[in-house]
Amino acid sequence: MTSEPLAPPPEPSATAHAGEKTAPGAPPSAAAGAVPTATYRLQIQPDFPFAAAEAAVPHLAALGVSHLHLSPVLEAVPGSGHGYDVVDHSAVRAELGGEAGLRRLAATARTHGMGIVLDIVPNHMAVPVPERLNRALWSVLRDGPGSPYARWFDIDWEAGAPGAPGARRGRILLPVLGGRLDRELRHFRLEREDGAESGAGSGAEGTAGAGAASGEGAGYVLRYFDHVFPVRPGTERLPLPELVAAQWYRPAWWRLARTELNYRRFFTISGLIGVRVQDPAVFGATHATVLRLLRDGVVQGLRVDHPDGLADPEGYLRRLRDASGGCWTVVEKILTGEEELPGSWPVAGTTGYDALRRADGLFTDPAGARELDALHREFTGAPADLGGEWTATAARAAREVVEHELAAEVAALTRAAARICETAPAPPDHAPWALRTAIRELLLRVPVYRPYTAPGKAVPERDAAMLRQAAEGARAAFAVPEEAEAVDLVRELALGTAGDSADHREFCARFAQTSSALRAKSAEDTAFYRYTPLLSAAEVGGEPDRPGVSPEEFHAFCARLQRDWPETGTALSTHDTKRSADVRARIALLSEAPLEWAELVERLTKETARASGAGVPDAQLAWTAWQTAFGLGYGLSGPLPAKRLVPAVLKSAREAGLRTTWTEPDPAYEDAVRAFTEAGPCGPPHPAAAAFARALGAHARANILGGALVHLTMPGVPDVYQGTEWEFRALVDPDNRPPYRPRPETLAGLDEGRPPQSLPEEKLRLTAAALRLRREHPDWFGRAGSYDPLAAEGPAAEHCVAFGRSGRAVTVVTRLSRLLERSGGWRTTGLPLPPGRWRDRLTGAEAEGTVALAELLDRWPVALLIRV
pLDDT in tens, 743-755: 999 999 999 999 9
Range 59-66 average pLDDT: 98
> What is the 3-state composition of the chain as percent helix, strand, coil, each rounded to the nearest 5?
45, 15, 40
pTM: 0.93
- Over residues 436-452, the pLDDT tens digits come to 999 999 999 999 999 99
Residue 77, burial from CB neighbour count under 10 angstroms (0-12, 13-18, 19+): buried
- The sheet with strand 787-790 has its strands ordered as 787-790, 800-805, 809-814, 862-867, 830-840, 846-852
Indicate the SS3 state at residue 854: helix
Portion of the chain with pLDDT greater than 90, in percent: 90
Q: Which of 800, 722, 756, 827 is nearest to 65 (CA)?
A: 722
Does residue 5 have a pLDDT over 90? no
Q: What phi and psi, each to the nearest 5 degrees, are found at residue 352?
A: 115, 10
Range 830-839 average pLDDT: 98
Does residue 200 have a pLDDT over 50? no
Average pLDDT score, the chain: 92
Do 68 and 750 meet the contact criterion of CB atoms below 8 Å apart?
Answer: no
Return the pLDDT at 206.
35
- The sheet with strand 124-126 has its strands ordered as 124-126, 269-274, 265-266
Confidence of residue 197 (pLDDT cuts 50, 70, 90): low
What is the SS3 assignment for 779-791? HHHCCCCCEEEEC
Return the pLDDT at 199.
40
Range 532-538 average pLDDT: 98
Q: Supply the DSSP string of 418-461, one letter for each residue.
A: HHHHHHSSS-----HHHHHHHHHHHHHT--SS-----TTSPPPH
Q: How many CA atoms lie within 13 A of 381 on its CB side?
A: 2
DSSP H helices, 65-133, are 98-111
Q: Supply the DSSP string of 514-571, one letter for each residue.
A: HHHHHHIIIIIIIIHHH--SSGGGSSTT--TT-----HHHHHHHHHHHHHH-TT-EEE
Cα 131 from Cα 125, distance rounded (Å): 12
- Over residues 311-341, the pLDDT tens digits come to 999 999 999 999 999 999 999 999 999 999 9
- Over residues 361-390, the pLDDT tens digits come to 999 999 999 999 999 999 999 999 999 999
Cα 57 from Cα 758, distance rounded (Å): 25
Do 818 and 696 meet the contact criterion of CB atoms below 8 Å apart?
Answer: yes
Confidence of residue 162 (pLDDT cuts 50, 70, 90): low
Q: Which of 109, 238, 43 is nearest to 720 (CA)?
A: 43
Return the pLDDT at 201.
41
**Rounded (5°) CA angle 633-634-635:** 110
Return the pLDDT at 427.
83
Confidence of residue 31 (pLDDT cuts 50, 70, 90): low
Cα 219 from Cα 223, distance rounded (Å): 13
What is the SS3 assignment for 455-487? CCCCCCHHHHHHHHHHHHHHHHHCCCCCCCHHH
Return the pLDDT at 213.
30
Does residue 217 have a pLDDT over 80? no
Is the bond preceding 145 in cis, omega lying within 30 degrees of 0? no
Residue 33 C-alpha from the chain's centroid: 25
Does residue 868 have a pLDDT over 50? yes
Does residue 19 have a pLDDT over 60? no
Cβ-proximal residues to 280 (8 Å cutoff; 6+ apart), any chain: 319
Residue 708 C-alpha from the chain's centroid: 20
Portion of the chain with pLDDT greater than 70, in percent: 92
Return the pLDDT at 30.
54
- Over residues 687-740, the pLDDT tens digits come to 999 999 999 999 999 999 999 999 999 999 999 999 999 999 999 999 999 999
Do 570 and 303 meet the contact criterion of CB atoms below 8 Å apart?
Answer: no
Return the pLDDT at 203.
39
Do 185 and 244 meet the contact criterion of CB atoms below 8 Å apart?
Answer: yes
- Over residues 587-641, the pLDDT tens digits come to 999 999 999 999 999 999 999 998 878 789 999 999 999 999 999 999 999 999 9
Return the pLDDT at 14.
31
Q: H or E element: which one contains 359?
A: helix 353-362
Cα 771 from Cα 456, distance rounded (Å): 46
For the chain, the straight-line distance linking the first and the last C-alpha, in angstroms and rounded, comes to: 23
Cα 483 from Cα 429, distance rounded (Å): 10
Range 84-96 average pLDDT: 98
Taking the CA atoms of 687, 688, 692 and 693 in sequence, report the sign of the dihedral they define: negative
Q: Supply the DSSP string of 213-234, one letter for each residue.
A: TTTTT--EEEEETTEEEEPPTT
Listed in order, strand segments (DSSP E) in 136-200 are 172-177, 188-192
Return the pLDDT at 196.
56
Range 189-209 average pLDDT: 56
Do 201 and 207 meet the contact criterion of CB atoms below 8 Å apart?
Answer: yes
Do 798 and 812 meet the contact criterion of CB atoms below 8 Å apart?
Answer: no
